[in-house]
Amino acid sequence: MILTSDYLWYKLFNTKGLGIKSLHKIYDVLTQQNMSVVDLFKLDSERFHSIFSSHNKGKYSSINFDNIISNDESKIYFNYQKIKEDGFKIISLEHEEYPKNVKDKMQDDAPPILFCKGYIPLLNTLGVSIVGSRDVDEFAVLLTKSIAGSLALKGYNVTSGYAKGVDTSAHLGALENDGTTTAILSYGINYLSIRKDFRQFDWEKNTLFVTQFQPYEKFSGRNAMARNKLVCSMSKAVVVIASGPEIDSSGKMSGTYDAGKTALLMNIPLFVLSPTLFEKAPQGNIDLINKGGIEIKNGNDIISNYENNIANHSNTQLADSKNNSSSSQFNLF
């Protein structure tokens, strides 16, 4: 058995008692010691204890030699081999291709490993995320594709969540304009299927699928909310097409609204489609604009705001552009 970095991180990911915080603690200690995960698994008990003795107390008590180094791994290695055979790559915190933006924005909440399939360089490509409701009309679908296409033509990688509705329209809008797209999944890789609409494109070169969840994990509302943080942190800006209120009359939380709020909390520029474009203004759009989202009417609004203001770190110009956004003319194509 060859002890590679990606396998050993996968082993840690499956070690009993090691959660995200513990894995980050291990990563931090290894970084401080100028060590890799391969070096970790070469340690004897005495050396392991000397390095981690001050870091394995309380909630980090699972960071101990017997639990980590001596953990039975026959099943873990079998599952790892299956992941590799299915064409997925494991990108750990110490991997040079782990997205820098995710580390910066999510910090100790950043997923310890990412399961990826497709064009890996997209992990660190300049990107814009597009989010929105699953249930939208044809107008919203066309508008989403138009915005995604505009971004793709300017060289931006379009990121979204691979759900039906706005997400799928965003991915296809980028691909239809010879652009690239990243799909962030809310479930494990065992449940990934390449949609028919994607198969007409060279998706292996233009698309990247990413998930932070164990291969066997199914979709859940909790996973979808956790996925939103990764969707936002993977990009330099987030675009909301159509959002319901934060919590509707039945008590259900809006995933799109949560993504928009997450972008604001992460200090990621948030663009929100103008409520005036809809026959019935989406309440979430109104609320997110009131909270600091930049009102836009087309893809060119996003590009001009980003390139003229955000990329130049000019907060004054950003505020001015927000105040003047209502003067932008709607242009679907």
Residue ranges and CATH numbers for the domains of the chain are 5-85 (no CATH), 120-327 (3.40.50.450)
Question: What's the pLDDT score for residue 302?
Answer: 84
pLDDT over 70 (residue 303)? yes
Question: What's the pLDDT score for residue 313?
Answer: 40
Question: What's the pLDDT score for residue 332?
Answer: 32
Query: Hey, what long-range contacts does 2-8 have (CB within 8 A, 24 or more apart)?
Result: 3/38, 3/41, 4/38, 5/36, 5/37, 5/38, 5/92, 5/94, 5/95, 6/89, 6/90, 6/91, 6/92, 6/95, 7/77, 7/80, 7/90, 8/37, 8/38, 8/40, 8/41
Compute CA distances 300 → 55, 135, 154, 289, whole Å: 50, 25, 10, 18
pLDDT over 80 (residue 70)? no
The amino acid at residue 220 is: S
pLDDT over 70 (residue 83)? yes
Q: What is the mean pLDDT of the chain?
A: 89
Question: What's the pLDDT score for residue 274?
Answer: 95
Q: How does pLDDT run across 116-164, given as a tens digit for each residue?
A: 999 999 999 989 999 998 888 898 999 999 999 999 999 999 999 999 9
Give the rounded percent of residues in the chain with a pLDDT score beyond 70: 91
pLDDT over 80 (residue 50)? yes
CA torsion 276→277→282→283, rounded to 10°? -20
Q: How does pLDDT run across 199-240, given as a tens digit for each residue?
A: 888 877 899 999 999 999 999 989 999 999 999 999 999 999
pTM: 0.89
pLDDT over 70 (residue 63)? yes
Q: How does pLDDT run across 230-280, given as a tens digit for each residue?
A: 999 999 999 999 999 999 888 889 999 999 999 999 999 999 999 999 989
Distance CA 93, CA 13 (A): 11
